[in-house]
């Protein structure tokens, strides 16, 4: 398989631009931290969490493929693998933000009505220890799975695939529990009196549907830029489109499951969040969130042509990513914000910097290994399959 | 209509896809292909048009189910016999959503199944016409129409055998849809 030598060389101009955006966006964020620390920390948390989730979506996708023994995605598996490069940096940003937790999390100082198990759980040192544990656990598994996958390039041994299958199954189980708890810790505890047991699945749904959208955009880019030109076909995009369709619908299903139970039970501390989100100018954003994350992708992806046509699928994926930003914004900002939503210059700066940083990390990850897992025994199947 | 057919039996999915592509490229008319399971890519190899009727039937009836059920719930709980549940308004739309969703899925699913039966002319009690009993187990059958004047049985037989046909038979007077 020496024929595969299509390396990825992004233009230096692109790299300069991306660094410029990271520095520019970072500068607005630094300004924000001086002017309005709490608001800017919220956008830093949003940016770090979104970046971390993009990396987690990559490793989750790879692990799900291994665990299910799927072959279709092998041809472009190096793309979700390269996305994992965002994991350590996202973890660092989230970690630093959490260290400033006393500004963000009201329960650090105000222990009013925080009793029983909650008082034990929402304890700042324990909170930080848990964060370190989750982040390290994910990073260690991602590194192991990636290393095994890359080792297979030089040594096409099916035993390596089996090793990754075992690692992936273990990772998925641990990930389900730790990601759930992490979303409780980092996002839900911003409003410590509001709670929803389904919140972890809701966060997972958003993380994975936007993760598929990112994979779609990156695979399209890699096909156009060269490394995957001869390996990725319309069949792959058709299936990625189906997956995006499925998971945006899953997001909606979980969104509504959370909403309906809270609406039905009508308990004051549970409805708190929704009454806030349905007031004043939060309401248009609340509705827009559902339109961007489900209504639009659902209607657009019903058609087979959208799923098989690169530029159409890219537009749907872009809309889902805008929806993802809004979704995280609506989870994080209302706790810090006032009567009406505000979008400060550092909110935009954080998104721009995080996106540019993600692309830079992706490029780095993509260049660390051959763009196609040439030693994977399932590669041939992935190159020739039909829908 | 009725006509003479040639039946080639294959044991391998890959051979079947290749031979179907070749036969179609040569302009030989394919009556049908029989397989024990759905072979991916076979519809393209046979040159079948994209199935647009079933998806649209599914969508339209799913939409009908959702709308009809929403109306029905509104009528029962808000108009005909208003019931106070937990002090909620009678026309509480969020409460209707789960049932609306289920009915939409039911209508969409059943309509797709019935549309499929309709298109493939299947109904309870229909007598099965089995080209080769092996197609219910591990064989694939490619059925070709011989009515064309340019059809050369010997040449086509050799062609099918070159693709690994284990058995090639000719049959007269078979009903061709």
Residue of B94, B95, B104, B108 best to disrupt the A interface, most CBs of A under 10 A: B94
A228 vs A152: CA distance, rounded Å? 18
Residue of B13, B18, B40, B87 best to disrupt the A interface, most CBs of A under 10 A: B40
A373 vs A255: CA distance, rounded Å? 37
Distance, CA of A322 to chain centre: 12
In chain B, what residues touch A385 (CB-CB under 8 Å)? Answer: 40
pLDDT at A3: 44
Interface of B with A in 74-133 (CB under 8 A): 86, 94-95, 97-98
Integer angstrom CA distances of residue A19 from A14, A22, A40, A137, A368: 9, 5, 21, 29, 19
- For residue B93, the chain A residue with the least C-alpha distance is A260
Beta-bridge partner residues of B168? B8
A184 vs A191: CA distance, rounded Å? 10
Is residue B174 predicted with pLDDT exceeding 80?
Answer: no
In chain B, what residues touch A266 (CB-CB under 8 Å)? Answer: 86
Looking up tokens 């004051």, which residue turns up? A268
A87 vs A361: CA distance, rounded Å? 9
In chain A, what residues touch B105 (CB-CB under 8 Å)? Answer: none
Is residue B107 predicted with pLDDT exceeding 80?
Answer: yes
Query: Residue B140: enclosing H or E segment and its boundaries?
Result: strand B140-145
The alpha-carbon radius of gyration of chain B (Å, integer) is 25
The alpha-carbon radius of gyration of chain A (Å, integer) is 21
Judging by beta carbons within 10 Å of its beta carbon (0-12, 13-18, 19+), is residue A232 exposed, middle or buried? buried
Is residue B131 predicted with pLDDT exceeding 80?
Answer: no
A380 vs A364: CA distance, rounded Å? 26
Residue A69: other Cβ atoms inside 10 A? 9
pLDDT in tens, chain A (387 residues): 444 445 778 888 888 898 988 988 888 888 888 888 778 888 889 899 999 999 999 999 999 999 998 889 888 999 999 999 999 999 999 888 888 877 788 888 877 777 778 888 888 888 899 999 999 999 999 999 999 998 888 888 888 888 889 999 999 999 999 999 999 999 988 888 888 889 999 999 999 999 999 999 999 998 888 788 888 888 899 999 999 999 999 999 999 999 999 988 888 888 888 888 888 888 888 999 999 999 999 999 988 888 888 889 999 999 999 999 999 988 888 776 667 777 778 888 889 999 999 999 999 888 888 888 888 888 888 888 777
Question: What residues contact A156, with CB distance under 8 A and at least 6 apart?
Answer: A374, A375, A376, A377
End-to-end Cα, chain A, rounded Å: 26
Q: Which of A146, A19, A21, A148 is CA-nearest to residue A85?
A: A146
- Number of H helices and E strands in chain B, helices first, is 5, 4
Q: Which of A112, A105, A80, A357 is CA-nearest to residue A240?
A: A80
B155 vs B176: CA distance, rounded Å? 22
B40 touches chain A (CB under 8 A): yes
Domain ranges across chain B: 2-50+129-175, 53-119
Contact between chains at A386 and B40 (C-beta distance less than 8 A): yes
CB B168 within 8 A of CB B157: yes
Judging by beta carbons within 10 Å of its beta carbon (0-12, 13-18, 19+), is residue A225 exposed, middle or buried? middle
Distance, CA of A305 to chain centre: 26
Q: Compare CB distances from B40 to A263, A264, A385 and report the shortest one's residue.
A: A385
| Maximum CA extent, chain B | 81
Contact between chains at B86 and A264 (C-beta distance less than 8 A): yes
Contact between chains at B40 and A266 (C-beta distance less than 8 A): no
What is the DSSP annotation of A98-138? Answer: HHTHHHH-GGGT--TT--HHHHHHS-HHHHHHHHHHHHHHH
Tokens standing for B104? 């939409």
Is residue B1 predicted with pLDDT exceeding 60?
Answer: no
- For residue A303, the chain B residue with the least C-alpha distance is B55
Note the pLDDT tens digit of each residue in B16-66: 888 898 888 888 888 888 889 888 888 888 888 877 788 888 899 999 999
CB A37 within 8 A of CB A103: yes
Residue of A239, A262, A264 best to disrupt the B interface, most CBs of B under 10 A: A264
Contact between chains at B95 and A264 (C-beta distance less than 8 A): yes
pLDDT at A4: 46
CB B110 within 8 A of CB B102: no
Is residue B147 predicted with pLDDT exceeding 80?
Answer: no
pLDDT at A300: 93
pLDDT at A2: 42
Integer angstrom CA distances of residue B145 from B14, B21, B28, B33, B173: 22, 15, 7, 12, 11
Residue A83: phi and psi, rounded to 5, are -60, -25
Residue A370: other Cβ atoms inside 10 A? 19
B107 vs A34: CA distance, rounded Å? 58
pLDDT at A344: 79
What CATH number was assigned to the domain covering residues B2-50+129-175? 3.30.70.260
pLDDT at B175: 59
Find the mean pLDDT for residues B74-102: 87
Is residue B79 predicted with pLDDT exceeding 70?
Answer: yes
Size of interface A-B (CB pairs under 8 A): 20
Note the pLDDT tens digit of each residue in B164-173: 888 888 887 6
Distance of residue A39 Cα from the nearest chain B Cα, in angstroms: 33
Contact between chains at A260 and B97 (C-beta distance less than 8 A): yes
A218 vs A377: CA distance, rounded Å? 24
pLDDT at A337: 65
A89 vs A252: CA distance, rounded Å? 29
């Amino acid at each position: 398989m020496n024929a595969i030598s299509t390396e990825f060389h992004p233009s230096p101009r692109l790299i300069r631009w991306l660094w410029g955006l990271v520095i520019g966006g970072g500068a607005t964020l630094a300004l924000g931290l001086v002017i309005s620390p709490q608001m800017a920390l919220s956008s830093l948390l949003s940016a770090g969490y979104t970046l971390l989730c993009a990396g987690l979506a990559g490793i989750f996708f790879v692990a799900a493929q291994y665990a299910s023994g799927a072959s279709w995605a092998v041809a472009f598996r190096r793309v979700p693998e390269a996305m994992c490069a965002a994991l350590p940096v996202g973890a660092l940003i989230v970690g630093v933000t959490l260290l400033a937790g006393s500004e963000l999390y009201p329960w650090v100082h105000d222990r009013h009505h925080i009793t029983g198990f909650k008082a034990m759980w929402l304890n700042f040192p324990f909170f930080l220890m848990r964060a370190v544990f989750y982040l390290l656990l994910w990073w260690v598994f991602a590194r192991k799975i990636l290393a095994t996958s890359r080792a297979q390039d030089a040594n096409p041994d099916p035993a390596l695939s089996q090793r990754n299958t075992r690692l992936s199954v273990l990772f998925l189980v641990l990930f389900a529990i730790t990601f759930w708890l992490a979303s409780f810790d980092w996002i839900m505890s911003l409003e410590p009196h509001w709670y929803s047991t389904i919140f972890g699945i809701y966060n997972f749904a958003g993380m994975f549907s936007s993760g598929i959208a990112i994979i779609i955009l990156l695979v399209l880019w890699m096909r156009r830029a060269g490394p995957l030109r001869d390996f990725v076909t319309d069949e792959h995009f058709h299936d990625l489109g189906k997956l995006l369709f499925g998971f945006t619908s899953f997001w909606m299903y979980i969104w509504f499951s959370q909403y309906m139970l809270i609406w039905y039970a009508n308990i004051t501390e549970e409805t708190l969040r929704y009454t806030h989100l349905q007031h004043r100018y939060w309401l248009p954003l609340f509705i827009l969130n559902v339109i961007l994350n489900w209504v639009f992708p659902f209607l657009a992806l019903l058609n087979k042509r959208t799923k098989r046509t690169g530029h159409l699928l890219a537009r749907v994926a872009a809309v889902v990513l805008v929806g993802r930003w809004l979704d995280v914004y609506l989870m994080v900002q209302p706790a810090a914000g006032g009567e009406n939503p505000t979008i400060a210059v550092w909110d935009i700066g954080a998104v721009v910097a995080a996106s540019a940083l993600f692309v830079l990390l992706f490029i780095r990850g993509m260049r660390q290994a051959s763009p196609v897992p040439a030693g994977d025994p399932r590669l041939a199947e992935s190159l020739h399959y039909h829908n | 209509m009725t006509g003479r057919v040639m039946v080639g039996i294959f044991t391998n999915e890959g051979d079947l896809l290749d031979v179907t592509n070749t036969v179609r490229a040569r302009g030989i008319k394919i009556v049908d292909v029989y397989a024990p399971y759905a072979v991916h890519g076979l519809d393209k190899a046979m040159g079948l048009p994209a199935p647009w009727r079933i998806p649209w039937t599914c969508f339209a009836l799913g939409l009908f189910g959702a709308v009809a059920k929403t109306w029905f719930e509104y009528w029962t709980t808000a108009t005909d016999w208003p019931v106070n549940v937990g002090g909620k308004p009678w026309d509480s739309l969020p409460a209707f959503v789960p049932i609306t969703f289920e009915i939409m899925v039911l209508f969409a699913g059943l309509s797709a199944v019935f549309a499929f039966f309709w298109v493939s002319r299947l109904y309870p009690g229909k007598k099965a016409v089995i080209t080769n009993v092996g197609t219910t187990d591990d064989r694939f059958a490619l059925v070709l129409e011989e009515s064309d004047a340019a059809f050369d049985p010997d040449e086509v037989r050799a062609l099918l055998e070159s693709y690994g046909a284990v058995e090639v038979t000719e049959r007269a007077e078979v009903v061709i849809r």
